Amino acid sequence: MLGHISFFKGIKRGATLNLLVQIFSTFGLGFASYYFKIHGVELYKIISIWAISPLVSLPIVRFINTWNVKKYLRLGLLTYTGMALSLLFFNKYSFLLYGIFDGLKLGFFWVSFNYIFFLKSTNDRYAKDSSIYFILGPLVGIVLPPIGALIIHNLGFRALFLTTGLLSFLPLLYVRGQDFSHITRISWREADRAFSGLRLITFYDAALHFFQGSFLTIYALLFLKTEYQVGGLLSYLALISLVASFFLAGLSDKRRNRLEILYPLLIIMGVVILIIPAIKSLSLFIAIVGLYAVLDNLSLPIRFAVPMDVVKLDIGFWRASEFYGNLGRTIVFAVAALLLYIGNYWLAFAIFALMTLSFPFIISRKINSLRLSSRPAVGL
């Protein structure tokens, strides 16, 4: 599918698989939060899904030492199917079941997928390859959410989620052959030791990554009333992401100074986060969220590349990355859900803002520490 485009050389298998996954995921699962809201699930419970799901993933990435990539890719893809089918018949525990399936997906699929995607990537391409990694969702996300909204309006949610479940079998059929046949073993102790110095960076980055895609889109349900408005917002954010994602990645790889780019972006992002809860009008909310999405997607591939610059990208790296990243998501989103439960929206946003504002300084401190310990921190 993407194999004849030279820019994708070395990551074509991973990019094609990612595109297939994003097609069904963007088409239907992006409406899950709206589905829960119109069925009366409180906002704090919807937010709690994104604390439950990373929590479920933690024992998977922590205790499985022998990693069968093809097997776990397929198992992870089946959990995507489970996510879609769990929404066919609503009950008061549907959000919990959805979160559990999502957690199994985070554990089995994303460790395996990240390993395959970056298997042949090199240090002078990490940010560029990361931009491709993140851009495929927005590429299909411009068109598919409005189609999903149309299906909801005319046929209902059940038709949307059933179609999503059927489409999820497409990438399952793609995962075959020697390109995905990797069985590798590394103990957690080895993986964790190699990841030393990157734990807090990954903790922060993973939680902030979920801020736009999960927290903001759920908070937006206070403003959005119809499936067309939800689909429109998803499409709008996807378009902004598509435009922004490539812009600085190549420059970051070429100049080999990621922090120089990240400092101003993250500081402005933190200020924008503080502004959002003060907004009362839908039009201004969309404009400010759009500004945040531009900044976030400019910085995202560069942030993602920072740990890759200093550690060998074996299965142990991706296990540790998912463990500490999902630990960050669990803690931060559990606190955010609690704050929404007691009605303190300002403090929930303030936590994300404080993390964003302090993040470049944490990266700088940790990377300097790695340099002093003689680990080769290149490209930073």
Domain residue spans of the chain: 6-372
Structure tokens at 159: 């038709």
Contacts of 92 (CB under 8 A, 6+ apart): none
Handedness of CA 356, 270, 280, 287 (dihedral sign): negative
pLDDT of residue 377: 45
Ranges of H-type helices in 246-344: 249-255, 258-275, 282-308, 315-341
pLDDT (tens place) for every residue of the chain, 380 residues total: 444 445 556 688 888 899 999 988 888 999 999 999 999 999 999 999 999 999 999 999 999 999 999 999 999 999 999 999 999 999 989 999 999 999 999 999 999 999 998 888 777 677 777 777 877 777 788 888 999 999 999 999 999 999 999 999 999 989 987 788 889 999 999 999 999 889 999 999 999 999 988 999 999 999 888 998 898 888 888 777 766 555 555 555 555 566 777 888 899 999 999 999 999 888 999 999 988 988 888 888 888 878 887 778 899 999 999 999 999 999 999 999 999 999 999 999 999 999 999 998 898 887 777 655 545 444 44
pLDDT of residue 5: 47
Cβ count within 10 A of residue 85: 17
pLDDT of residue 373: 55
Reduced to 3 states (helix: H, G, I; strand: E, B; else coil), residue 314 is coil
Distance CA 175, CA 284 (A): 43
pLDDT of residue 307: 83
CB 197 within 8 A of CB 370: yes
- CATH architecture under which domain 6-372 falls: Up-down Bundle (1.20)
Distance CA 351, CA 341 (A): 15
pLDDT of residue 379: 45
The residue assigned the tokens 């149309």 is: 150
For the chain, how far is it from start to end, CA to CA, in angstroms?
Answer: 33
pLDDT of residue 242: 65
Nearest to 13 by CA among 127, 168, 137, 120: 120
Reduced to 3 states (helix: H, G, I; strand: E, B; else coil), residue 184 is strand
CB 359 within 8 A of CB 205: yes
